[in-house]
Amino acid sequence: MAQPAADATFDVRELRKILGCFATGVAIVTTIDEDDNPRGLTVNSFTSVSLDPPLVLFCVAKGAPMCRVLLQAPTFAINILAKPQQDLSTRFATPIADKFAGLAWNPGQTGSPVFPDILAHLDCRRHGLVEAGDHVVLLGEVVDCARHTNEPLIFNQGGYAALAKSELERTNA
């Protein structure tokens, strides 16, 4: 297989569209900032890394306001969203002052916010970070987790999508 030239350039918009073809779940990463305020952002760049030790990762843009907060936070929670929580996903992806105003949440084992009625959550201690291009990859060691029986919220090609009922029944069996 031929390798692309080292100096190959891409049309960034086209690359973004191509990367968007990979359907993902949607999560909100939450933490408590240095002033004891709950903070969070929507991510779809979340994945498992290891079962032993239990590690997960997500990526955050270096220019995102939450990047500084997350780099200072020793803990965070990953709230994997359920299908009815599209509005929550949009809220935490939008630059508004107090994303938690009027929202119910409970502190996880580490104190990081965990939302009710989500698909699952992972409460994590920061394990490490890697700078990668215009993003930071944050690794977390899972210290607590739980899952529920809701349907997942899916993001694909710039919009929300749904699994066919038969697919969902097969994966929950």
Question: Which domain CATH number covers 152?
Answer: 2.30.110.10
Domain for residue 19, yes or no? no
Look at residue 24 and give its three-state secondary structure: strand
Domain for residue 110, yes or no? yes
Structure confidence at residue 20 as a pLDDT band (50, 70, 90): low
Domain for residue 14, yes or no? no
123 and 112 Cβ atoms separated by less than 8 Å:
yes
- For the segment 117-138, the average pLDDT, to the nearest whole number, is 95
Domain for residue 155, yes or no? yes
Name the phi and psi angles at 51, rounded to 5. Answer: -95, -25
Whether 155 has a pLDDT exceeding 60, the answer reads yes
Rounded-to-integer distance, Cα 140 and Cα 129, Å: 9
Provide the 10 A C-beta neighbour count for residue 66. 21
Structural domain count of the chain = 1
Domain for residue 15, yes or no? no
pLDDT digits (tens, 9 = 90+) for 69-123: 999 999 999 999 999 999 999 999 998 889 999 999 999 999 999 999 999 999 9
**Domain range for residue 40?**
25-172
Look at residue 111 and give its three-state secondary structure: coil
Domain for residue 13, yes or no? no
pLDDT at position 111 is: 97
Domain for residue 16, yes or no? no
